[in-house]
């Protein structure tokens, strides 16, 4: 096939392809839309009200007014985003916490009976060094709580102390039992993995 024939076939192919304008005209004729004007783009149509969730802010309305006064101003969808940083939710939350708690978040702490006894013993042993502010800082409680503990003369009975001791002993034994169970379970899993690798030929144990 000569070059002239190829060129003729290409021109004939593209001449028979419908253009965008012809497709639009055919569609408007087919659907009976020849008498209806073409709708405006949403980017250029300001007559349609937006829902409240998509309503523009005052700054955007001012920018739109500036655009109408100065046609050389680029439209909103072609403008670059602002360079000034906008705080996100976590940063705004952190700033609010710093404003509410300048010295940091320090929730009230409840001391155990043993800690209260130790606090009293320290104050009784050296009241000049272990003052109320020092004890409050060491035990992470308020000075008012330290004063209440030092002022309190209540002492639990021997029977109650015995019950507390037994309760703490049971709790320690339960924690140790859970730890031992977890350790034994992990040890069995490791043994199963090693045996599986040994039988599959992926691991050679040195004897």
For tokens 């035990």, the residue is 139
Residue 117 is predicted with a pLDDT of 86
CA neighbor of 146 nearest in space, from 116, 184, 104: 116
- Give per-10-residue mean pLDDT for the chain (207 aa): 60 56 72 69 59 50 55 71 73 85 74 86 89 89 89 82 88 92 90 81 52
Structure tokens at 192: 């199963």
Residue 97 is predicted with a pLDDT of 84
Task: State the Cα–Cα distance between residues 201 and 16, nearest whole angstrom.
Answer: 69
Residue 110 is predicted with a pLDDT of 79
Count Cα neighbours of 138 within 13 Å in the Cβ-side half-sphere. 15
Residue 58 is predicted with a pLDDT of 46
Task: State the Cα–Cα distance between residues 128 and 148, nearest whole angstrom.
Answer: 18
Task: State the Cα–Cα distance between residues 118 and 112, nearest whole angstrom.
Answer: 10
Taking a C-beta distance cutoff of 8 angstroms, is the pair 150, 123 a contact? Answer: yes
Count Cα neighbours of 126 within 13 Å in the Cβ-side half-sphere. 4
Residue 71 is predicted with a pLDDT of 62
Structure tokens at 172: 């320690």
**Phi, psi for residue 174 in degrees, rounded to 5:** -65, -40
In Å, how far are 124, 133, 141, 155, 188 from 129, measured between CA atoms? 10, 10, 17, 25, 54
Task: State the Cα–Cα distance between residues 135 and 116, nearest whole angstrom.
Answer: 11
Task: State the Cα–Cα distance between residues 137 and 120, nearest whole angstrom.
Answer: 15
């Amino acid at each position: 096939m000569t070059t002239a024939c190829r060129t003729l076939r290409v021109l004939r192919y593209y001449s028979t392809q419908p253009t965008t304008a012809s497709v639009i005209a055919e569609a408007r004729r087919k659907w009976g839309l020849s008498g209806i004007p073409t709708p405006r783009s949403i980017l250029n149509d300001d007559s349609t009200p937006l829902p409240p969730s998509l309503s523009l802010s005052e700054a955007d309305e001012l920018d739109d007014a500036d655009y109408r006064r100065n046609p050389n101003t680029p439209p909103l969808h072609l403008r670059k985003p602002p360079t000034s940083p906008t705080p996100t939710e976590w940063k705004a939350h952190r700033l609010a916490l710093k404003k509410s708690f300048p010295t940091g978040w320090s929730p009230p702490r409840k001391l155990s009976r043993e800690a209260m006894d130790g606090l009293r013993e320290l104050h009784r042993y050296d009241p000049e060094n272990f003052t109320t502010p020092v004890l409050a800082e060491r035990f992470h409680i308020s000075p008012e709580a330290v004063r209440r503990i030092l002022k309190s003369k209540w002492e639990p009975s021997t029977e109650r102390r015995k019950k507390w001791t037994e309760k703490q002993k049971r709790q320690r034994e339960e924690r140790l039992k859970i730890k031992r169970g977890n350790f034994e379970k992990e040890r069995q899993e490791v043994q199963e993995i090693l045996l599986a690798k040994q039988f599959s030929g992926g691991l050679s144990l040195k004897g």
